[in-house]
Amino acid sequence: MFQPSCHAEREGYSFRAGMCDVLFSVRRVSQFLVLLVFAAIGCGQKAAPVADLASQRQRMVMEQLMPRGIHEERVLAAMSKVPREQFVPADMRAASYTDGPLPIGYGQTISQPYIVAFMTEQLRLSSKDRVLEIGTGSGYQAAILAELVAEVYTIEIIEPLAKSAEATLRRLGYKNAQVKVGDGYKGWPEHAPFDAIIVTCAPDKVPQPLTDQLKEDGRMIIPVGDRFAQELYLLEKKNGRLKESAVLPVRFVPMAGEAGKRE
């Protein structure tokens, strides 16, 4: 679950040459619109109708994802389809498609749409893949994955979040996503090996159990580091070893459970 970075690659994306002013302006406009939405709700007006949220979802894809380099058609289609408003608290739904993370309770957040799309695209998923997610949160990332692969196994250490995510996924018809209450550090060995692993909370190093549960030629994307200095790594398993590349400075909530004990 992503929290905004406190340095130049803020909220998970890089300012690129020639685009800095444009992206900064988009962000300013986005923040202004969020303030207007909250002001409207605070004045007693009704939340945005479903049709308005659907159009906001399409604008999110066109204005937040594509200009920042998300081009994989299946990922864009999933982001266009999954109703993010169903995975945020009811009083936050009007802000569902703003360009940033949102609180979901228990000190956790639903990640910025761009980060969800970016991490998903980096895994280069196929329709036959089996994917492990660590850090279910509200279930939004699991729903995106479920649109793209055969099976999703997702683990959340906070039981109320896990139960709520499971109910939301079932209500929306995602039968290929299984939710487990547990410590993500240990993975889900009963269903291993996995074609891909996505981690949405940050340990101080890559957990060995997750490495062991990744298939040969499989890919893992994971934030690594302490609370204030994290890097998003893309790992590929070749000949039993991990080839790693740092792809983005980020800031996620720390991994709890066994990972916290090992720090």
Q: The domain spanning residue 243 has which CATH number?
A: 3.40.50.150
> Position 178: which residue type?
Q
Quick check: is 17 in a domain? no
pLDDT higher than 60, residue 3: no
Domains identified in the chain, total number: 1
Contact between residue 138 and residue 168 where contact means Cβ atoms under 8 Å apart: yes
Task: Provide the 3-class DSSP secondary structure of residue 103.
Answer: strand
Quick check: is 187 in a domain? yes
Select which of 96, 111, 138, 164 is catalytic.
111
14 catalytically annotated = no
Entry pTM: 0.81
Task: Provide the 3-class DSSP secondary structure of residue 210.
Answer: helix
Name the more confident of 260 and 234.
Answer: 234
- For residue range 208-255, what is the model confidence (pLDDT) as tens digits? 999 999 999 999 999 999 877 899 999 999 998 899 999 988 888 889
- For residue range 56-90, what is the model confidence (pLDDT) as tens digits? 999 999 999 999 999 999 999 999 999 999 999 99
Name the more confident of 29 and 147.
Answer: 147
Region 135-145: what's the mean pLDDT?
Answer: 98
pLDDT higher than 50, residue 41: no
Find, among 146, 145, 165, 147, the residue nearest to 155 by Cα.
165
The model's confidence at residue 47, banded by pLDDT at 50, 70 and 90, is low
Tokens linked to 90: 């009811």
Quick check: is 258 in a domain? yes
Quick check: is 184 in a domain? yes
Quick check: is 216 in a domain? yes
Instruction: Measure the CA dihedral 183/189/194/196, to 10°.
Output: 20
pLDDT higher than 80, residue 24: no
Quick check: is 23 in a domain? no
Quick check: is 197 in a domain? yes
pLDDT higher than 80, residue 155: yes
Q: Please report the pLDDT score of residue 132 as a whole number.
A: 98
Contact between residue 153 and residue 191 where contact means Cβ atoms under 8 Å apart: yes
Instruction: Give the span between the Cα atoms of 118 and 236, in whole angstroms.
Output: 16
Q: Please report the pLDDT score of residue 19 as a whole number.
A: 34
The model's confidence at residue 153, banded by pLDDT at 50, 70 and 90, is very high
Contact between residue 145 and residue 131 where contact means Cβ atoms under 8 Å apart: yes
- For residue range 89-130, what is the model confidence (pLDDT) as tens digits? 999 999 999 999 999 999 999 999 999 999 999 999 999 999
Give the bridge partners for 223, in sequence order. 232
Instruction: Give the span between the Cα atoms of 82 and 73, in whole angstroms.
Output: 14
Q: Please report the pLDDT score of residue 240 as a whole number.
A: 87
Region 176-202: what's the mean pLDDT?
Answer: 96
Contact between residue 89 and residue 108 where contact means Cβ atoms under 8 Å apart: no
Query: What is the longest distance spanned by two Cα atoms in the chain?
Result: 60
The parent domain of residue 135 ranges over 98-262
The model's confidence at residue 48, banded by pLDDT at 50, 70 and 90, is low
Quick check: is 44 in a domain? no
Pairing mode of beta strands 130-134, 229-238: unpaired
Region 33-57: what's the mean pLDDT?
Answer: 59
